[in-house]
Amino acid sequence: MTSADRGAGLAIETTGLSKRFGHQLAVNSIDLAVPRGSVFGFLGPNGSGKTTTIRLMLGLAAATAGSVRVLGQDMPGKLDEVLPQVGALVEGPAFYPFLSGAANLHRFDAADRHASPGTRRARVAEALERVGLSHAARKKVRAYSMGMKQRLGIANALLSRRELLILDEPTNGLDPQGTREVRSLVRSLAADGATVFVSSHLLAEVEQICTHAAIMSAGRLVAQGPLAELRQAGTAQVRLITPDAGAASGVLVRFGMTPVVGHPDGADAVITSALDAAPEAIVAALVADGVRVRGFAVERGSLEDRFVALTGEGFDVAQ
């Protein structure tokens, strides 16, 4: 497969993409590959370079090094051909507070010289309806709640039929119900055949709607791929509950594992270890040695474990 063939299957492809602000390397040589038709989760802690990467993709900022291809075309070189097919929500919604929601959408649609003025009214109305804002169309954006502005921002991305949607933190400021609505909207867009690129620091959100994901940390891309593979990449753990701690540990050591014995409740020992053998073989050996197995579980790492392992714990994130 040549690189051109690979590129044809990608909605977004970056090669060695870097952006430097003064001394800080905000985006550090990332090679992102977003397959067409995927719902792609772009994860990373705040300040890890997600929004800067999105700005580079959309031609809002110029890369210090590397290249970006969006929908098979070079950015920002082919910006005028690419962007009409891309709907975007970048770093939160932004509107003219003195205009109504509908007037704001009219304004942005007028800025797209490829959008037909004849269908503008209908398209604005449909976009507003799609995000549930029809009732507030004539209201000044100044009077909108944060969640309503967020919805309007998404409506702006949906003004025309798009091949690619780039949604930066689309559920920011939304209540749980609004978050669910955005999830179902993303699914319906993907069902229509659009590629949806969603940046988020909310793992649960990404786990629920995405087919693929990438993880950013301190400007670097530390992992990417289909969601299932990302989850698998974390090692599975065995969790064994038994009163016979010594014998059980002996069995696990025979399998080449390094058990850790704990006594959380006093009575039974809880032994944990990285899984290095077939679970059924371990259980058989334990029973054969007369170990009283009161609990046995294999725990796969969640995306959250993987995320934390790659980007650091809590506030101790990589800077």
Partner 1 sequence: MSHSDQVSAPGAGTRTNPGREGSSPRQRPSSRSLLASELKQLFRRRRTQALLLALAAIPVMIAVVVRLSTAVPPGRGPAFLDRITQNGLFVGVTALIVAVPLFLPLTIGVVAGDTIAGEAGHGTLRYLLVAPAGRVRLLLVKYVGAVAFCVSAPLAVALAGAGIGAALFPVGPVTLLSGDVVEPGEALNRMLLIAAYQTVSLLGLSAIGLFLSTLTDVPVGAMAATIVLSVASQVMDQLPQLEWLHPWLFSHYWFGFADLLRQPIGWDSFTSNAMLQAGYIAVFGALAYGRFVSKDVLS
Q: Which is nearer to partner 1, 58 or 240 (CB)?
A: 58
Rounded (to 5) percent helix, strand, coil in the chain: 40, 25, 35
Block residue for tokens 């209201």: 139
List 66, 132, 225, 250, residue binding partner 1 (CB under 8 A): 132
Find, among 36, 14, 75, the residue nearest to 219 by Cα.
Answer: 14
List 111, 176, 280, 290, residue binding partner 1 (CB under 8 A): 111
Is position 123 an interface residue for partner 1 (rule: CB under 8 A)? Answer: yes
Contact window for partner 1 (CB under 8 A) among 39-47, 157-165, 294-302, 306-314:
157-165
CB within 8 Å of 236: residues ≥ 6 apart = 274, 275, 298, 299, 300, 301
- CB-neighbour burial class of residue 200 (10 A; exposed 0-12, middle 13-18, buried 19+): buried
73's tokens:
């075309």
Contact window for partner 1 (CB under 8 A) among 118-126, 206-214, 299-307, 311-319:
118-126
Query: Residue 216 in contact with residue 49, Cβ under 8 Å?
Result: yes
277's tokens:
């053998």
Binding map of partner 1 across residues 158-197, x = CB under 8 A, - = no contact: xxxxx--------------xx-xxx-xx-xxx-xx-----
Is position 6 an interface residue for partner 1 (rule: CB under 8 A)? Answer: no
Q: How far is the CB of 219 from partner 1 (least distance, A)?
A: 16
Binding map of partner 1 across residues 49-88, x = CB under 8 A, - = no contact: ------x--xxxxx----------------xx--xx-x-x
Is position 198 an interface residue for partner 1 (rule: CB under 8 A)? Answer: no
Find, among 55, 28, 32, 57, the residue nearest to 43 by Cα.
Answer: 32
